[in-house]
Structure formats: structure tokens, C-alpha cells
Amino acid sequence: MNPDLAKQTAKRRTFAIISHPDAGKTTLTEKLLLYSGMIHTAGMVRGSKGRKMAASDWMSMEQERGISITASAMQFAYKDVVINILDTPGHQDFSEDTYRTITAADCVIMVIDAAKGVEKQTRKLFEVCRQRRIPILTFINKMDMPGRDPLDLMDELENLLQIHTFAYNWPIGAGRDFCGVYDRLEKKCLFFTKTATGGAEKADVEVTTLDDPKILEKIGPAELEKTKEELSLLDVAGNAFNVQDFLEGHVTPVFFASALTNFGVEPFFDAFIHLAPPPQARIADGLTGKEVPIDPIETPFSAYIFKIQSNMDKRHRDSLAFMRICSGKFERDLIVKHHRLGKEIRLSRPHSMFSGERTTLDEAYPGDVVGVINPGVFAIGDTISIKGGFNFKPLPRFQPEIFAKISPKDVGKRKAFDKGVKQLTGEGAIQMLRPYHEGDDVIYAGVGQLQFEVMQYRLQDEYGVETQLTSLPYTCSSWIEGDVKLFQKSYNSILMKDANDKPMVLFVSQWEKQYSIKQNANLKFFDLDQP
């Protein structure tokens, strides 16, 4: 065993933050940078971010290539661990990218707005984590604002998400009176005060007990009594915390805090680095169909591509493939097997990313994310390794629901258009479906409207091609298997081929789809499992 590899692997904490937009993911990420010493004043990340919900804003943000959206992973040291935060775009139309990114995480932080509780986007993302048995820590944010009752929130987590909860800490006061948290394992209070700059700098913290007169003065006797009662209720009725249950995804430790004021933030990070697991063995599919574990230390270098992004930096104008290292040490110019293509390739010019800036990388370890220039050889989901003989599990794919034709306004731009479309569909947000029958047109398929807007914007911005989009009436799809020549097409449907040449039918309605399935009993129709 390589002791350096084992030591470096044990130090890695690779995770993603999931939340509904606006719950505070960006603010929390920024505070992690603040507490790790990467930045000295908070406000920088949000400052470059602008208001992010509208498509046009996302696009201007994209141009800046800031931390939040395009940097696939950020790496930095926090105390004695190496943090890898995988970026998960917040907008629901980018969920495919987010789902794939979650597969690269060893652990997830779920941020919940204390006033809103579990929201739609969080539920969807949570399901993906559950399916993959990814351990989840819950961060209940915005405790400095009027919010829901903490016991209610715990209840909602248990009922809506069907996961056991363990209150790792408990809030002292709420809204304007939120002044600290009670650490239930250590049985101590952490009492916070804002610095003159508010949340821009670390909050002052004092370790004390619930009987400290400062607490009584801050929250008053009734609230103090309520907090004490809740704590004894949790002790009596709640379960003890079992780390194994957390690692297997059965229970989520819950933390109450305010990312904005920094109250409760540092104890959360400290608990996080203690609880979050370093990279573990991953289960892959062996060539004989049997599952094989890929141990991060025992197995020589292996990785898989979970994200592809073109033109991240206008100065380079190329496509980067991001891989998650699953085992072994990565070194520059390493020669590896590309399992799908069955050939050897050299991993030259590897990069890590921070704030959109490329940094050349000489070595990396399990849990790390490395970006390599992709001269068209990598596709999402590709496995690469030294040893060969297995493939990492396929990444989540999605059943498209929105369909359109896109063409260049100026036919003279066809070449640039084709190049752009090839690169952008390679990123996996939009699929290109080719006609099954001669005479039909290429159709683009996606799961969200914003994906199309972004594609058009990027074709113009990055490839100089203005495009025209024609929406199509199809609303659902299905792959078919069997003798496709026998397929009896209903009036409105159309037969296409997906990127892997698999036949796929598009329908205008669910009714038509069901009718078609009945009419073609000799063919097998199948959809993807939706998370």
C-alpha cells in the first residue's frame, strides 16, 4: 500500500450542496471559503453573482465564469482536510447536470430555508442521493429570520423525505433573538456575537451553558424554558446518533444556523469534516457482468467523466472533460485505457479550477476532480483506468419532454453551427435526435426550456451563430426495442434515433403514447427511470 496515497485519500472530503434556489447554498459555500482562510471578507462571491434566476442573468454570470456555476469543483484546505466542493447549478433546468454531479460526491449537504422547509427542488435532489445511498447532512439556514418551529421542521424532514433525523445542535432563540446553538453531543452552548462588519467576517463565539445570564437576557425566560423543554424532549424521544446509519443514508444529522450572520456556521463545518466520509470503494460493473469494488487505494488509477463543458474560458475555446478520481494517484501525462473506445490515451494538460481560473495540476488523489482538454474523445459517463476490465455505473439519464428544431439564420454559418451543436450536445444538457427516415429533420430534445435558451445564447456567443428555434408539439417520448420496421406509427408521432442510434418515438400526448404502446404489442417500449 502506498502510504502517501492512503494519507491523501483519508484527507479528502468531496461533496455537493443541494438546495432549492435561494435557500443559501452560495452564501454557505462562501462562508466555507471564509472559515478556511481562502477569502478574508465575505461578499466577493455573491458580488460577482448578481441576481441569478433569470436566464439572461445566468448567461451574464456564465460570461464571468464565476465560482458558482461553471467551476465544476473547487478545492481548498479547511483545517487538516482537503475540501472538494462539486458545483451543482441551482436552477431546475440544469438538474441533469446536477444529478450527474451528485454521483461524483461522497457526501451531500442539504441546505433548507428555515421559513420554507423542504421545497420541491430539494426533494428531487434528495431522491437521487437516497437512490445512491449518499450520506446527507442537513443545514437549516436563515435562523436569524422569522422561521418555522424547529420541531416542525424536523418533523417535515422525517415525513416528507422519509429519513430519520438527529438534531446535532439545537437553536437558541430564533429570528432576531437567534444567538447560539446547543451542541447536543458535547452538551455545551455556543453563544455568538456579530462583528462590526456583520457576516462579512467570522462571528465571535463563546462557549457557555444554558444557564448563562447572557442567554436569559437575550431570549427571555419563556423562550429559554421552551428551549430546555425541547432539548429534554429530543433526549427522551429522539434516537441516539449512529455514524454508521448516517454513512448508509438512513439518518441525517441536522444543524441549525445562519449562513449570513455566521452563527452556527463554524461548528457545522467542524462537524462536517468529522462526519463526512473520505472516498470509499465504488461498485463498478465487471466485464463478466459481476459487480466489482474499486478500492480507492488498492486499485491503480481510475476515474469517470461526469461533466463536459466547452468554452469555459474564452481565451482557450476548447472543451474540458471533468473526471472524478475514484482510485489511485493521478499524475500528469499518465497513460490510461479509455474503456469505451478501447484505446490508450495520455492525460496531458490537466487542470483544477478555482473561480474560473485554470491551474495546471501535477498530481491528484481519489475524490479530486480533474479537468482535461477534450479533443472529442470523452463522453459523459466514460470510464478510464490503468487496469481496465470494468466500468463505473452508468450516470442518470433523462427522458426528454421538450423538443425543438434549431437552425442557423445564416446558412453560411452551417459549419460553425455544426461544431457548436456537437460540442454543446456533448455536454449532455440537450440531446440531438437524428431522423430514422430520410427526409425528416434533426430534432433537439431537452428537459427544460431554459436549456434551449442557453443553447441558443451560447451558439451565438461562443460560435458566432444566430439561430432560429421552432418549438415542436411533442411532449413525451419512449425508446423502442424489437423489429422497428414493424412499428405502426400513430398520426402525430415521429420515429427518431438517439445519440447511440437507439430508436426513439416522440408523441404529442401521453394518450397517444399509451395508444401506440397498445397498437404495437410486438415491440417493447421503455422509458428511463426518473429519479
Instruction: Report the 10 Å Cβ neighbour count for 360.
Output: 9
Query: What is the Cα–Cα distance from 418 to 421, expressed in whole angstroms?
Result: 5
Instruction: Report the amino acid identity of residue 323.
Output: M
Q: Which of 20/329 has CB closer to ligand G4P? A: 20
Residues found near ligand G4P in the complex (CB under 6 A): 19, 21-27, 46, 90, 141-142, 144-145, 258-260
Handedness of CA 287, 288, 293, 298 (dihedral sign): negative
Distance of alpha carbon 528 from alpha carbon 520, whole angstroms: 19
CB of 489 to ligand G4P, least distance (A): 44
Q: Which is nearer to ligand G4P, 258 or 467 (CB)?
A: 258
Kindly report the backbone phi and psi dihedral angles of residue 279, in degrees, each rounded to the nearest multiple of 5, phi listed first: -55, 135
Shortest distance, CB of residue 84 to ligand G4P, whole angstroms? 18
Is the Cβ of residue 27 or residue 374 nearer to ligand G4P in the bound state? 27
Nearer to ligand G4P, 42 or 336 (CB): 42
Q: How far is the CB of 81 from ligand G4P (least distance, A)?
A: 23
301 burial (CB, 10 Å; 0-12 / 13-18 / 19+) is buried
CA 141/CA 19 separation, integer angstroms: 11
Residues contacting 292, CB < 8 A, separation 6+: 283, 284, 285, 286, 390
Phi-psi region at 68: left, alpha or beta (left = phi > 0; alpha = psi -120 to 50):
alpha
Tabulate helix, strand, coil % of the chain (nearest 5): 30, 30, 40
Q: How far is the CB of 37 from ligand G4P (least distance, A)?
A: 20
Distance separating the N- and C-terminal Cα atoms of the chain: 38
Length of the chain: 531
Give the shortest CB-23-to-ligand G4P separation in angstroms: 5
Angle of helix 414-426 relative to helix 449-463, nearest 10 degrees, comes to 130
Between 18 and 308, CB nearer to ligand G4P: 18
DSSP calls for 247-313: HTTSEEEEEE-BTTTTBTHHHHHHHHHHHSPPP--EEEEETTS-EEEE-TTTS-SEEEEEEEEE-SS
- How do beta strands 431-435 and 494-497 pair? antiparallel
Q: Which is nearer to ligand G4P, 23 or 506 (CB)?
A: 23
CB of 65 to ligand G4P, least distance (A): 17
Cα–Cα distance between 405 and 444 in angstroms, integer?
6
| Shortest CB 177 distance to ligand G4P, Å | 14
Shortest Cβ distance from residue 61 to ligand G4P (Å)?
12
* Pairing of β 136-141 and β 107-113: parallel
In the complex, the smallest distance separating the C-beta of residue 258 from ligand G4P, rounded to whole angstroms, is 4
Nearer to ligand G4P, 27 or 423 (CB): 27
For ligand G4P, the closer of residues 148 and 419 by Cβ is 148
Q: Tell me whether residue 203 or residue 433 sits nearer to ligand G4P (CB atom).
A: 203
Angle, vertex CA 152, rays to CA 147 and CA 153, nearest 5: 65
Considering the complex, state which of residue 23 and residue 136 has its C-beta at the smaller distance from ligand G4P. 23
Write down the least CB distance from residue 148 to ligand G4P, Å: 14
